[in-house]
């Protein structure tokens, strides 16, 4: 991976202007296209196939008067005023008549309608006009709400002195997140951190510019996709927040490595290529972990959550692409201006984050008494996790709207005079098409439901005009997002068999509140499989990256502590109300249903980022020195400044979405900010060094069988570093086809080999196939468990194994039905390197002679031939003969 990134970055540097032009044109064109074809976002949270959604869909076809959204015109009068007085009745009647003529209104119910109960409050101080619309709240037009508001104002004028009218309800819900000025504070924080980290305005500006451009491109793509897909506005906001955070984060690492290399004296072009190959490899791996976690949200099987995960994943993918393509082009354009200058006397410079000083003291304190550090961190974060058990999941309702909004005022007025349940009534549907007494059945059904615990009122129990389906409107005595209302829904569903036995009708519980409860239940049920997916994924990925058993287990346990702490802090604020006023939390008691699964997915990716950036540097030091304690100290001091900068930027971006964020996005942003802070500073930078110090060399143990079976990820670019170090090996301008020093495999099937094989040679390798076959496969890039130094056709192995495979031809005689003619035909093509395994399997004398002649002809054209045999063949004109003795059977 690092070799590929090195060459790609070198190409970008050569074509810097073209790369920048293509990116900017793409952003402009896609932004214009997205704006022109956008069909708008869809903010309905539904679960197709759930009982509540199926019942609601049936109602929309058969009984549309109760299936859309509704608005309430709530009239309150001062004490002593008679709501049954003729003047007020006339004013209400005029309001009802006017509402019936309003666009999108399908039904208006007067509080004086004899078929409806409970529309006049028991205290005699309030009455409700219910306006039923033919669209969900997302489809209610602004002009409709304006007309209803004007009707309410007229009613207030005509209802007498002291009367007050509020107009709200679900139709007035405003759950679409909107950007605010406070979110710009995240960019300000990022700019300050980048200035302190780089000490250069140009170096600090590049990550900000590319992050903003990436977010613009992502949002344009999502709005363009609304032409064919239903995308909620929350998905766009999540993509905006996450894309901005990771866009700055990922853009930080490559310029940081580039400036460090410039300081060491590398040329600009070479430094950029190496920075992308090293830091870019880590960025690519980190981005892939975030993307995989977000795409993993599909396991919930909920369409809108799948859309949110894929939208956020797309934003992260754009950020990664920009980091490894556009940023190198911009760095190349900046040229020498990014090279750190030596400090001149008297010159005032911005402070720089030091790798020593505070970070040396930090890691020393964390590792001096590792057991104490581990116990304190684990117990502290474990205690902070305890409130997480109180989290209540629900979809946002009008109780979470901003104070002073029409929806919020109406919600509070109804709660005060009618009870909180009136804001979230349930609908019990009954299939009465086969009933001979539909009215009587609905009356008896309504009466039985009205007597159930938790039911405050049954205002309406009626069949539809065609007698196909009946509805019972049920007002709970608890708020829509309370556990008591959920219990009532479950109680009604548990009675379905009883209702059928008693009334011979099939029933279902639906309505906006029931749909929200079903969404929350499905999301809660998806947490365990998604959590197992994330934990399992982290264990596998980190085992492959760090070649260790202990490191992945430690990393995953740390991730779980971070997630638990974020849940606990969210419960304290949004459940118990701690600091709710300071954070402008409009409503406490529940959080958005998909917060846990979104938090787990996003924080998993970010936690793996910090784990990779920090521990990979420690592992690199350990590989070079073999001293575990020195590796922790040196690796920590080398990577901690960048990790701190990245975490502070990420925290700042997420935290900036909290003060003015809407009810949907605010708890997500808050939990992510807490999770990032805890994971970066307490888990990765404190707990991780302590655990590694406690384990010592054991931290890097991995069973050999696992090591051979798993692929290797070069996330720190060690491969390209090795390649560049061997650029002039074995000597400058060498034309050797094969060059090796101390070459063998793991486990070693043959003694270490020192070889120099030049173009046009025929080399005969003699020995047991247990040694000769692995030898040949390794030289051809087919086996990568290589020890020592090896170059084939100028490419370093195993780093460039894929390139070697494309330039060599391998003939395994044991696998060919007729090896002689096949070898002759291949030799005639004169490949640069021809490898023949088991040439002694060509038994016929005339075929062997033909092979020998064709190999000689190929070598005259520059082909190098290496063959393996059990015994020497005197007829083969070999220029070198290598004898291998098998030391261990290669498996």
DSSP per-residue string spanning 230-274: ---HHHHHHHHHHHHHHHHHHHHHHHHHHHHHHHTT--HHHHHHH
pLDDT of residue 717: 63
Q: Give the Cα separation of 551 and 440 in Å (integer).
A: 69
Is the residue at 842 inside a domain? yes
Query: Counting Cβ atoms within 10 Å, is residue 468 exposed (0-12), middle (13-18) or buried (19+)?
Result: middle
Query: Omega before 390 cis (within 30°)?
Result: no
Q: Give the Cα separation of 11 and 685 in Å (integer).
A: 36
In the block, tokens 């959080």 appear at 591
Query: Omega before 730 cis (within 30°)?
Result: yes
Tokens of 768: 């047991």
For 15-83, where are the alpha helices, taking DSSP H only? 16-37, 51-62
Q: Name the pTM for this structure.
A: 0.75
**Phi-psi domain of 2 (left: phi exceeds 0; alpha: psi -120 through 50; beta: other):** alpha
Q: Give the Cα separation of 520 and 530 in Å (integer).
A: 15
Are 430 and 559 contained in the same domain?
Answer: no
Alpha carbon 816 to its chain centroid, in Å, reads: 48
Domain of residue 82, residue span: 51-174+401-513
pLDDT of residue 479: 86
Query: What single-letter DSSP state applies at residue 342?
Result: P
pLDDT of residue 227: 78
H or E element at residue 129: strand 126-133
Query: Counting Cβ atoms within 10 Å, is residue 109 exposed (0-12), middle (13-18) or buried (19+)?
Result: buried
pLDDT of residue 766: 93
CA distances from 612 to 605, 620, 751 (A): 11, 11, 36
Task: Report which of 219, 132, 225 is spatially closest to residue 177, judged by C-alpha positions.
Answer: 219
Residue 806 exposure: Cα atoms within 13 Å on the Cβ side? 4
Instruction: Express each pLDDT in 863-881 by its tens digit.
Output: 999 999 988 888 888 889 9
Is the residue at 235 inside a domain? yes
Is the residue at 191 inside a domain? no
Q: Give the Cα separation of 507 and 461 in Å (integer).
A: 13
pLDDT of residue 43: 61
Q: Give the Cα separation of 607 and 603 in Å (integer).
A: 6
CB 62 within 8 A of CB 468: yes
CA distances from 881 to 565, 813, 874 (A): 66, 20, 11
Are 759 and 795 contained in the same domain?
Answer: yes
Are 318 and 435 contained in the same domain?
Answer: no
Are 693 and 562 contained in the same domain?
Answer: yes
In the block, tokens 């490419």 appear at 795
pLDDT of residue 762: 94
pLDDT of residue 9: 85
Are 372 and 426 contained in the same domain?
Answer: no
Are 474 and 531 contained in the same domain?
Answer: no
Q: Give the Cα separation of 186 and 653 in Å (integer).
A: 4
Residue 670, domain CATH: 1.20.1640.10
Residue 436, domain CATH: 3.30.70.1130
Q: Give the Cα separation of 607 and 123 in Å (integer).
A: 55
What are the 10-residue block averages of pLDDT along the chain, 891 residues in total?
80 91 87 74 65 70 67 88 86 91 87 82 88 78 89 89 87 63 70 79 86 86 81 79 81 83 85 84 81 80 82 89 92 86 54 62 90 95 92 76 78 87 87 86 90 89 82 88 90 92 88 83 81 81 82 90 94 87 78 83 82 81 80 86 85 80 77 93 93 90 76 65 78 89 86 91 92 92 87 87 89 90 92 93 85 92 92 87 75 42
Alpha carbon 878 to its chain centroid, in Å, reads: 58
CB 612 within 8 A of CB 649: no
Query: Omega before 448 cis (within 30°)?
Result: no
Tokens of 206: 């590049």
How many domains is the chain partitioned into structurally? 4
Tokens of 137: 């709240």
pLDDT of residue 662: 63
Is the residue at 306 inside a domain? yes
pLDDT of residue 459: 86
Are 558 and 598 contained in the same domain?
Answer: yes
**Residue count (the chain):** 891
Are 159 and 115 contained in the same domain?
Answer: yes
CA distances from 861 to 526, 810, 857 (A): 64, 18, 7
Is the residue at 656 inside a domain? yes
Is the residue at 348 inside a domain? no
133 phi and psi, to 5 degrees? Answer: -110, 160
Is the residue at 189 inside a domain? no
Is the residue at 572 inside a domain? yes
pLDDT of residue 348: 47
CA distances from 443 to 112, 153, 531 (A): 20, 36, 47
Domain end (from 486, 513, 540): 513
In the block, tokens 């956020």 appear at 312
Q: Give the Cα separation of 778 and 791 in Å (integer).
A: 11
**Phi-psi domain of 838 (left: phi exceeds 0; alpha: psi -120 through 50; beta: other):** left
Are 386 and 406 contained in the same domain?
Answer: no
Beta-bridge partners for 474: 426
pLDDT of residue 406: 80
Q: Rounded to the nearest 10 degrees, what angle do helices 233-263 and 628-656 cross at?
A: 140
755 phi and psi, to 5 degrees? Answer: -125, 150
CB 394 within 8 A of CB 590: yes
Are 677 and 747 contained in the same domain?
Answer: no
Tokens of 272: 């950029």
Are 37 and 63 contained in the same domain?
Answer: no
Instruction: Express each pLDDT in 582-617 by its tens digit.
Output: 887 777 778 888 788 888 888 887 888 788 878 877
Q: Give the Cα separation of 10 and 101 in Å (integer).
A: 68
Calculate ∠ Cα 297-302-308, nearest 5°.
55
Are 544 and 578 contained in the same domain?
Answer: yes
pLDDT of residue 304: 79
CB 510 within 8 A of CB 581: no
Within a 10 A sphere around the Cβ of 18, how many other Cβ atoms?
A: 11
Domain end (from 467, 482, 513): 513
Query: Counting Cβ atoms within 10 Å, is residue 553 exposed (0-12), middle (13-18) or buried (19+)?
Result: middle
Strand order, beta sheet including 808-812: 808-812, 833-837, 864-869, 762-767, 880-884
End-to-end CA distance of the chain: 26
- What percent of the chain has pLDDT above 90? 23
């Amino acid at each position: 991976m690092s070799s590929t990134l090195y060459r790609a970055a070198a190409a970008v540097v050569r074509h810097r202007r073209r790369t920048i032009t293509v990116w900017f044109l793409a952003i402009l064109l896609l932004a214009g296209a997205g704006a022109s074809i956008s069909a708008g976002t869809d903010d309905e949270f539904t679960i197709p196939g759930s009982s509540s959604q199926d019942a609601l869909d049936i109602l929309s076809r058969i009984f549309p008067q109760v299936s859309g959204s509704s608005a309430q015109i709530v009239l309150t009068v001062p004490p002593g005023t008679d709501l049954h007085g003729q003047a007020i009745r006339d004013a209400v009647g005029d309001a009802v008549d006017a509402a019936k003529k309003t666009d999108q209104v399908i039904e208006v119910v007067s509080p004086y309608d004899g078929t409806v109960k409970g529309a006049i409050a028991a205290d005699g101080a309030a009455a409700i006009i219910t306006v039923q619309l033919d669209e969900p709240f997302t489809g209610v037009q602004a002009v409709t709400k304006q007309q209803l508001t004007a009707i309410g104002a007229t009613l207030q004028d005509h209802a007498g002195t002291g009367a007050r009218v509020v107009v709200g309800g679900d139709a007035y819900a405003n759950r679409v997140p909107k950007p605010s000025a406070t979110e710009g504070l995240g960019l300000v924080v990022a700019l300050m951190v980048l200035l302190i980290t780089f000490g250069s305005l140009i170096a600090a500006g590049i990550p900000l510019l590319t992050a903003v451009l990436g977010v613009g491109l992502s949002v344009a793509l999502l709005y363009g996709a609304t032409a064919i897909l239903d995308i909620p506005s929350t998905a766009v906001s999540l993509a905006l927040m996450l894309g901005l955070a990771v866009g700055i984060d990922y853009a930080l690492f490559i310029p940081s490595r580039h400036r460090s290399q410039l300081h060491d004296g590398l040329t600009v072009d070479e430094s950029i290529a190496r920075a992308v190959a090293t830091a870019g490899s880590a960025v690519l791996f980190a981005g892939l972990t975030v993307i995989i976690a977000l795409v993993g949200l599909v396991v919930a099987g909920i369409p809108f959550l799948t859309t949110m995960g894929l939208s956020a994943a797309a934003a992260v993918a754009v950020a990664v692409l920009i980091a490894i393509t556009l940023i190198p082009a911009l760095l190349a354009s900046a040229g020498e201006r990014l090279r750190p200058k030596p400090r001149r006397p008297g010159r005032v410079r911005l402070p720089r984050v030091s790798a020593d000083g505070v970070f040396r003291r930090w890691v020393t304190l964390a590792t001096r008494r590792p057991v104490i550090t581990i116990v304190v961190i684990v117990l502290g974060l474990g205690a902070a996790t305890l409130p997480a058990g109180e989290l209540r999941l629900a979809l946002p309702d009008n109780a979470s709207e901003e104070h002073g909004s029409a929806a919020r005022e109406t919600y509070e007025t109804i709660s005060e005079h009618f009870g909180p349940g009136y804001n979230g009534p349930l609908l019990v549907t009954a299939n009465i098409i086969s009933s001979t007494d539909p009215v009587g059945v609905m009356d008896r059904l309504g009466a039985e439901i009205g007597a159930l615990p938790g039911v405050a009122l049954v205002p309406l129990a009626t069949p539809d005009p065609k007698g196909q389906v009946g509805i019972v409107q049920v007002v709970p005595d608890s708020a829509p997002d309370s556990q008591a209302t959920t219990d009532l829904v479950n109680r009604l569903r548990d009675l379905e068999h009883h209702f059928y036995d008693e009334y011979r009708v099939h029933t279902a519980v639906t309505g906006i509140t029931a749909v929200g409860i079903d969404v929350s239940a499905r999301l809660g049920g998806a947490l365990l499989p998604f959590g197992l997916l994330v934990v399992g994924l982290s264990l596998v990925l980190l085992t492959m990256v760090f070649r260790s058993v202990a490191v992945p287990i430690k990393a995953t346990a740390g991730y779980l502590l971070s997630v638990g702490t974020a849940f606990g802090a969210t419960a304290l604020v949004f459940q118990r109300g701690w600091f709710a006023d300071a954070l402008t939390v409009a409503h406490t008691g529940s959080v958005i249903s998909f917060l846990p699964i979104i938090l787990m997915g996003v924080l998993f990716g970010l936690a793996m980022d910090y784990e990779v950036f920090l521990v990979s540097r420690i592992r690199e030091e350990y590989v070079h020195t073999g001293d575990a304690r020195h590796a922790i100290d040196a690796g920590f001091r080398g990577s901690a400044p960048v990790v701190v900068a990245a975490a502070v930027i990420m925290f700042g971006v997420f935290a900036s979405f909290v003060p003015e964020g809407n009810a949907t996005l605010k708890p997500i942003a808050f939990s992510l900010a807490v999770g990032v802070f805890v994971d970066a500073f307490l888990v990765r930078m404190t707990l991780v060094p302590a655990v590694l110090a406690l384990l010592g060399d054991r931290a890097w143990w991995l069973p050999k069988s696992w090591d051979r079976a798993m692929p290797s990820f070069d996330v720190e670019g060690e491969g390209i570093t090795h390649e560049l170090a061997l650029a002039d090996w074995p000597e400058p301008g060498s034309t050797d086809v094969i060059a090796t020093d101390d070459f063998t495999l793991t486990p070693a099937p043959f003694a270490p080999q020192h070889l120099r094989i030049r173009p046009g040679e025929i080399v005969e390798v003699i020995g047991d196939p247990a040694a000769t076959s692995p030898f040949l496969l390794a030289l051809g890039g087919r086996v990568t468990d290589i020890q020592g130094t090896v170059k084939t056709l100028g490419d370093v192995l195993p780093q460039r194994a894929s390139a070697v495979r494309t330039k060599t031809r391998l003939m395994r005689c044991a696998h060919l039905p007729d090896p002689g003619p096949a070898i002759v035909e291949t030799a005639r093509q004169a490949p640069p390197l021809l490898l023949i395994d088991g040439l002694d399997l060509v038994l016929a004398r005339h075929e062997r002679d033909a092979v020998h002649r064709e190999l000689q002809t190929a070598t005259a054209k520059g082909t190098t031939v290496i063959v393996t045999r059990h015994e020497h063949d005197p007829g083969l004109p070999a220029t070198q003969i290598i004898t291998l003795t098998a030391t261990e059977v290669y498996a």
